[in-house]
Amino acid sequence: MNNIKLLATDLDGTLLDSAMCLTRENREALEQCISRGIEVVIATGRALSAIPEDIRSIDGLKWLICSNGAKIYNNITEEQIFASYLSPEALTSVRPILEDNTIMKEVFVDGKPYVAASVMDDLGWYGIPEYFQDYVRETRDPVPDLPAFIWEHAELIENINFIHKDEEDKIALLYKLTEHAGLYTLTQSLRFNLEIGGIDTDKAFALRYICEMLGIEREETMGIGDNNNDVSMLDFAGIGVAMEDGSQAAKDAADYITTDSDHDGVAFAVEIFIQDNE
């Protein structure tokens, strides 16, 4: 246990509590890891611009995996060190969905999430729960014609996030997306969304890239997450930790279940697997 050299943690539902805030306990746990020479990696489905300043200002935090693994950044130098994009074939395969105005889409380009301006008038109708709406308004850039924007930036699409209004909509959308699943990765980071990224895009691929760059073995890593888009990372890590209120897929992939995000689950896991084993 005392050989952990890298800690990777998801944000929403994991490091951030249900109010989308970084608690003092979780912040101090990461700072203590960094002070001991452990590499800390933020591995999130969020685009770069949507990562809170509270996270980016953690002293010594160097690595950011964004858009479910499509981008890796050096947080200190702000250098992009890895990128993976959806292929033109993948975009063409989902074109009917992209042009369906009843489905809300978020498109990540160059570290920023974009949405159709029309959806911002009634986010609830499109399936965004009330507690999440302020975050969307604060972090999304509206564009007048989202399909046109997508084709104008077709070579730079990191991730597409599809929002569904209810479980029936989700199942119908999932069925449509699985028809061409060999052209992209398909995952979920929130109960009301489905996401696609490049064929080799996931958190494990990005984490492996960082480990190889730093000369760290997978057995020397710990990953913490709560949802389906964390499964590959939990499988890859030497120690996979899922949140108590995480998805069943995340918990099945984990070696250990920690407390939930409102009870400092990241700090709790760090104390057990890192601090108590030094």
Yes or no: say if 39 and 223 are a contact pair by the CB < 8 Å rule: no
Mean pLDDT (the chain, rounded): 95
**pLDDT the model gives residue 24:** 97
Quick one: pLDDT band at residue 167, thresholds 50, 70, 90?
Answer: confident
Q: How many CB atoms lie within 10 A of CB 131?
A: 10
Would you identify the CATH topology of the domain 88-197?
3.30.1240
Residue of higher predicted confidence among 1 and 145 = 145
Would you identify the CATH topology of the domain 6-84+201-277?
Rossmann fold (3.40.50)
pLDDT above 80: residue 2:
no
Give me the residue spans of the domains in the chain: 6-84+201-277, 88-197
**pLDDT the model gives residue 278:** 52
**pLDDT the model gives residue 166:** 82
Average pLDDT over residues 138-153: 97
Q: What is the pTM of this model?
A: 0.95
Quick one: pLDDT band at residue 165, thresholds 50, 70, 90?
Answer: confident
Task: Kindly give the interhelix angle for 24-35 and 265-273, rounded to the nearest 10 degrees.
Answer: 30
Quick one: pLDDT band at residue 168, thresholds 50, 70, 90?
Answer: confident
As a whole number of angstroms, the distance between CA 239 and CA 141 comes to: 37
Yes or no: say if 124 and 134 are a contact pair by the CB < 8 Å rule: no
DSSP 140: P
pLDDT above 80: residue 275:
no
Average pLDDT over residues 61-69: 98
**pLDDT the model gives residue 99:** 93
pLDDT above 60: residue 73:
yes
**pLDDT the model gives residue 277:** 55
Q: What is the pLDDT of residues 80-128, one digit of tens each?
A: 999 999 999 999 999 999 999 889 999 999 999 999 999 999 999 999 9
pLDDT above 80: residue 260:
yes
Residue of higher predicted confidence among 181 and 236 = 236
**pLDDT the model gives residue 164:** 86
Secondary structure (3-state) at 4: coil
Q: What is the pLDDT of residues 175-216, one digit of tens each?
A: 999 999 899 999 999 888 999 999 989 999 999 999 999 999
